[in-house]
């Protein structure tokens, strides 16, 4: 930061020190002159000047009280006929201060009092300049008016400068408030983005882990029973478990690599609708009877994010079949490319919405599917069928949201 910026900041943050220094600068010459001359009149002038100038120390912290003290001193001089002191110019500082820091009513009142008081003081104490004595009336009046105009112009200038300072200060405050609000809004946006990313990661983790573990658990149960009667079937089942575990591990590594920002992470493409057949085949190896139908052809290709969403919907639905439908159930997956978009239907004839006692926490997958599909202006419906079983249906339009 530049030196003048540091000085300006220090001045703004230490107003009392600046005002105290101003008072000392004004009074010190008078005190020194009075002390050197040892003139009683000089001491009295220095004392009256001190009474007039000292209130400036509180001119910004107690604006109205400080101005009232200066105004009272000046009015007392007029009423008692005490001649002005050299520090009488502090009236201009007071007018400036009222305009810059005081309330509007005090600013206008101070301007009016200063204008009237200076006019009265010029009329009463104008002898040295020939306003009240010397010469004819025709000579004194024009001189009085000229001097009055000059004095009032100086007062008005001081008030105008103070009002401009007030406007500038308020503009700076408004800019600072706006910058502070923008910073708060940016922080809120960052928090919302982080929460959205956490939700996205949670959905990905759920889709990857829940499906893979469901397949592994089903295959492990089958391998346990088959090991005694059909060792060859058990070997194939264990192979399926290993393949599923490896695939899940690759997905987890990819996801964690993205979180770390690792550029060396695997760049294997994300699943799309072309990978649905492989997904269904992996579930079939778990012993579930699954049929897949594709109706129609897409009018336009879905965005890659929408295809990933469709894949995850099917994956989650088949995971629910593995967990809840029970043994010997039949499932049908339908991909219907209609005129407006893709409709995904997964029907099973299992136990419907009655999950196993050990599968608490169901419902997170459906909520995740709903959030994913809503990103593309789609809809999700999942409910037990009237004749038994369960149906999950999702619609994803061709146009991206």
Rounded distance between C-alpha atoms, residue 46 and residue 250, angstroms: 89
Cα dihedral sign for 376, 379, 382, 385? Answer: negative
Report pLDDT for 160.
93
Distances (CA, A) of 260 to 137, 231, 265, 306, 360: 93, 43, 9, 25, 32
| Strand-by-strand arrangement of the 330-337 sheet | 289-295, 330-337, 341-348, 390-397, 379-384
Identify which of 289, 279, 133 has the alpha carbon closest to the alpha carbon of residue 207: 279
Highest mean pLDDT out of 18-32, 131-145, 225-239: 18-32
Residue 394 has pLDDT above 90, yes or no: yes
Report pLDDT for 133.
58
Q: Residues 124-152: what's their mean pLDDT?
A: 69
CB atoms within 10 A of CB 27: 17
Give the rounded percent of residues in the chain with a pLDDT score beyond 90: 11
Residue 95 pLDDT level (bands cut at 50, 70, 90): very high
Residues with Cβ within 8 Å of 151's Cβ and at least 6 positions away in sequence, in order, are 118, 119, 122
pTM of the model as a whole:
0.50
Report pLDDT for 312.
84
For 333-351, the DSSP string reads EEEEE-SSEEEEEEEE-S-
Q: Residues 78-93: what's their mean pLDDT?
A: 83
Identify which of 90, 25, 16 has the alpha carbon closest to the alpha carbon of residue 53: 90
Residue 139 has pLDDT above 70, yes or no: no
Q: Where are the domains of the chain?
A: 11-184, 273-401
Residue 90 has pLDDT above 70, yes or no: yes
Report pLDDT for 159.
92
Identify which of 313, 323, 380 has the alpha carbon closest to the alpha carbon of residue 352: 323
For residues 27 and 326, which has the higher predicted lDDT (pLDDT)?
27
Q: For the packed helices 63-80 and 104-124, what is the interaxial angle rounded to 10 degrees?
A: 20
Report pLDDT for 84.
79
Q: Residues 298-325: what's their mean pLDDT?
A: 82
Residue 288 has pLDDT above 60, yes or no: yes
Report pLDDT for 387.
74
Rounded distance between C-alpha atoms, residue 170 and residue 177, angstroms: 10
Report pLDDT for 401.
39
Rounded distance between C-alpha atoms, residue 23 and residue 294, angstroms: 91
Phi, psi for 374 (deg, rounded to 5): -65, -30
Q: Which two tokens stand for residue 327?
A: 């043994």
From 69-78, 85-94, 202-211, the region with the lowest mean pLDDT: 202-211
Highest mean pLDDT out of 21-25, 110-114, 189-193: 110-114
Residue 99 has pLDDT above 70, yes or no: yes
273-401: in CATH 3.20.20.70:
no
Q: Residues 306-326: what's their mean pLDDT?
A: 83
Q: Residues 294-314: what's their mean pLDDT?
A: 84
Q: Residues 76-90: what's their mean pLDDT?
A: 82
Report pLDDT for 169.
87
Identify which of 319, 323, 329, 320 has the alpha carbon closest to the alpha carbon of residue 388: 329
Rounded distance between C-alpha atoms, residue 212 and residue 333, angstroms: 19
Residue 129 has pLDDT above 60, yes or no: no
Report pLDDT for 362.
45
Rounded distance between C-alpha atoms, residue 372 and residue 95, angstroms: 66
Residue 172 has pLDDT above 50, yes or no: yes
183 close to 119: Cβ distance less than 8 angstroms: no
261: left (phi over 0), alpha (psi -120 to 50) or beta: left
Torsion of CA 31, 37, 41, 42, to 10 degrees: -20
């Amino acid at each position: 930061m530049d030196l003048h910026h540091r000085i300006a900041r220090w001045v703004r943050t230490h107003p009392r020190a600046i005002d105290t220094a101003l008072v000392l600068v004004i009074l010190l010459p008078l005190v020194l002159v009075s002390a050197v001359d040892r003139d009683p009149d000089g001491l009295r002038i220095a004392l009256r000047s001190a009474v007039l100038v000292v209130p400036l120390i509180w001119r910004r912290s107690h604006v109205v009280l400080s101005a009232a003290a200066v105004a009272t001193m000046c009015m007392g001089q007029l009423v008692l006929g005490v001649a002005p002191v050299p520090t009488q110019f502090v009236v201009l500082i007071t007018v400036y201060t009222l305009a810059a820091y005081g309330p509007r009513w005090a600013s206008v009142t101070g301007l009016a009092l200063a204008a009237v008081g200076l006019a009265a003081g010029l009329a009463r104490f104008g002898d040295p300049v020939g306003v009240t004595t010397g010469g004819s009336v025709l000579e004194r009046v024009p001189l009085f008016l000229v001097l009055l105009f000059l004095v009032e112009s100086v007062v008005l200038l001081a008030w105008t400068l103070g009002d401009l300072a007030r406007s500038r200060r308020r503009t700076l405050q408004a800019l600072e408030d706006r910058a502070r609000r923008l910073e708060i809004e940016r922080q809120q946006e960052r928090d919302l983005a982080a929460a959205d990313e956490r939700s996205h990661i949670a959905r990905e983790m759920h889709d990857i882990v829940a499906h893979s573990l469901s397949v592994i658990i089903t295959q492990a149960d089958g391998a346990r029973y088959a090991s005694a009667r059909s060792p060859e079937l058990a070997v194939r089942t264990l192979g399926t478990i290993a393949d599923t575990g490896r695939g899940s591990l690759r997905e987890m590594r990819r996801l964690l690599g993205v979180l770390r920002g690792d550029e060396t992470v695997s760049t294997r493409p994300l699943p799309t609708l072309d990978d649905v057949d492989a997904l269904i085949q992996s579930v079939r190896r778990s012993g579930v009877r699954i049929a897949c139908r594709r109706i129609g052809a897409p009018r336009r290709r879905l965005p890659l994010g929408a295809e990933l969403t469709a894949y995850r919907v099917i994956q989650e639905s088949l995971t629910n079949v593995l967990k809840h439908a029970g043994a010997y159930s039949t499932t049908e997956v339908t991909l219907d490319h209609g005129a407006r978009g893709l409709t995904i239907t997964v029907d099973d004839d299992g136990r419907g919405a009655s999950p196993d006692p050990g599968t608490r926490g169901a419902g997170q997958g459906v909520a995740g599917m709903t959030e994913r599909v809503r990103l593309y202006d789609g809809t999700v419906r999942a409910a037990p069928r009237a004749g038994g079983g369960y149906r999950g249906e999702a619609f994803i339009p061709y146009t991206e949201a």
